[in-house]
Chains A and B, each alone.
Chain A
Amino acid sequence: MLLRRCTQGLCLISLLLTASALVLDNMAVLLAGGTLIAGILGQYLVFDRRLQEIVTSVEIRRSPGRNPVRKGTPVPVVSMITFRGSSRMHVQIADLLPPDTILADGITTVTTRPDPSLQTHRCSYRIIPVSHGSKQFAGISVTVRNLFFEDSVQLTRERDRDPVLVVLPTGLFAAPVSELSDGTRDNRKVSVRSGADIHSLREYCIGDDLRHVDWKISAKYDKLVIRKYAGVMSHPPLVIIDLPWNGAPYPEKEFNRMVSEATGMVRHTIETYQYVSVLIISGPNILHLIREEKNIPRCFAELREWMHPADRFVHFYHMPDRSDLRSHVREIENAAEQTTDTQMQAFYELLRNRYLSVLQFQRAPVFSGQVARTLSQLLMTDAYLFSLGCGDTSHIRHIVRPLQSRMIRVHLRIVDATHAGNYSTRDYPVGSPGVR
């Protein structure tokens, strides 16, 4: 409850009068001060009652333009706010945005003149979610003021916070600043190989290999100088980890084994190639990308944060890849040309039409585009995909195909949970059944 400037002055006068009455022992002054206090108190009671009447009449109905939405994309929201005003009461109602969202444009606040009738106002705005997950609106803020007082109430009841905005993760990562134009990079770890290239010279330290001493420079400066060589090596493999869905049971033992193997691969890659990129997905949802991480503890900290069963906002169910469908159509057409049997030709025609109808109505999933955009920013010659293989695995094909198209060797490491007692990791050939 805030006292407005006029009321603050009146309170001060009443206090002065009552204090003066006490000091002077004057009844007339007390009458003036006491009645002024009574007047302010009466106005407070009237204000409080009307505030509660207004607040209880407030209703809001929000309509997001789409739900679920993708992280980072603007979402239009229309809020219809209905309330019963009051005479001499100015009402301001603000629609409170969900956490981790930014107001892109539009207005979220309604300010009204004193009017005792039932009023409906429309707020139209766009918000941009900056993190994924389920986001509920924060509620409504109602601010009421009259000549003497001002107060604000936040409504955070369930009906004031609906609907829940589901924000999907996105695979649109920032473009890297690394050496994308070149196919190789300098290996600056101490190499026993010599003759490739020298990237620096430094003074000899105990333990250095004497074969790397640059004798000319050493003679010139009269001290031992060591060459540091820069060798050329291939890019490290990309590690892709497919996490299970937390909404369904999953084999915990196999999951732990997969985590262990993936972290081992990550450590080995950093130790061998000095950095690693890890793409963490859960079904057809890209969750996180660790890009060219050189620091093992930092990389492991990120892995600890992400490597657990995750929410899946998008699910696939036998979602064929469009390129595969097209190749099926081509194969069928070739087979139909080669056969002379009319029944077989009719069958091929039927099959071809089925595939074409699927191609016509099935759009390329967002996941494929995200994968392509993410992979286009990374350089690699190999990719390791760790998965439990439980549930629908058609998303794996959507990862494997773009990798194959870039001539990248894909090693599928699926911890077999379907066969009891078989916990070994298997390398699936890329074109094996169940993968394509």
Chain B
Amino acid sequence: MNYQLPEYRFLIVLGAGITGSTVLLAAPAWYLNIALLFLFSGVLFLTRNRPDRGFYLVCSGEPLVVACGIMNLWTGLFAVCMLAGVVCGALGILVSRGDLESYALFCGSSFLFALIIQVSNHVLLPLLALGITTAIILAARSVRTYQFRKQCTGA
């Protein structure tokens, strides 16, 4: 295991954070977090040379995020950010300054989303906010893409 690689650095931080928060919060299902952390680490190690590695990592990481989120929402957010760091590092998309900026933007938007969840009593409101935001972004991009393609055809 090469600890110089960014994914392993993020994994170490993830492991330390989850272990610490599990101990601090004295979660009754503490063993689940630790077990899922080990599962995620195992998948990260075993899928080093596999194609579609990002899919396997996300599949094994999301249960960890859910378990941490059930324990504490902010721990869940921490797990999301670290998981994103591990996946990006494993896929080699955390190299340049632009990549780091994108990662920071993702963490910021996740924080905002967690904040909305925190202040909401039910799932519906944050889900609506997420859906509307996604629809607006996709609609704006669709218009821009249409204009770009039109420009490409010389029209």
Contacts and interface: CB of A to CB of B under 8 A. Distances in A.
Interface of A: 5-6, 9-10, 13, 17-18, 21-22, 25-32, 34-39, 41-42, 44-46, 48, 52, 55, 87-88, 147, 153-158, 160
Given A32-B65, A156-B154, A22 B123 contact: yes
A157 B152 contact: yes
Contacts, number: 123
A32 B80 contact: yes
Contact of A39 (B55, B96, B106): B106
B137 interface: yes
A95 to B, nearest CB: 15
B152 A6 contact: no
A153 B149 contact: yes
Interface of B: 52, 54-55, 58-59, 62, 65-70, 73, 76-77, 80, 84, 91-93, 95-96, 102, 105-106, 109-110, 113-114, 117, 120, 122-124, 126-127, 130, 134, 137-138, 141, 145, 148-149, 152-154
Given A87-B95, A147-B93, A31 B76 contact: yes
Given A31-B76, A153-B149, A13 B58 contact: yes
Given A27-B120, A39-B84, A44-B141, 10 more contacts: A6-B55, A25-B123, A28-B70, A30-B126, A31-B114, A34-B113, A34-B127, A38-B109, A55-B148, A157-B152
A5 B138 CA distance: 20
A397 B7 CA distance: 84
Nearest to B62: A32
A41 B138 CA distance: 8
Majority SS at the chain B contact face: helix
A28 B69 contact: yes
13 contacts: A10-B58, A28-B65, A31-B80, A32-B66, A32-B80, A34-B117, A35-B106, A39-B106, A42-B109, A48-B141, A156-B154, A157-B153, A158-B154
B58 A147 contact: no
A136 to B, nearest CB: 12
A272 B54 CA distance: 82
A46 B102 contact: yes
Nearest to B64: A32
Contacts of A31: 65, 69, 73, 76-77, 80, 113-114, 117
Nearest to A58: B152
B102 to A, nearest CB: 6
B93 A22 contact: no
Given A42-B105, A147-B54, A155 B84 contact: no
Contact of A21 (B59, B91, B93, B123): B123
B134 to A, nearest CB: 6
A42 B106 CA distance: 7
A156 B58 contact: no
A87 B58 CA distance: 23
B58 A27 contact: no
A27 B91 contact: no
Given A55-B152, A154-B153, A155-B152, A29 B59 contact: no
A13 B28 CA distance: 27
Most chain A beta-carbon contacts within 10 A, residue among B113, B123, B127: B123
Most chain B beta-carbon contacts within 10 A, residue among A28, A31, A37, A48: A31
A30 B127 contact: yes
A253 B1 CA distance: 91
B152 A5 contact: no
A21 B130 CA distance: 13
Most chain A beta-carbon contacts within 10 A, residue among B92, B137, B154: B154
B126 A34 contact: yes
Nearest to A30: B123
B50 to A, nearest CB: 11
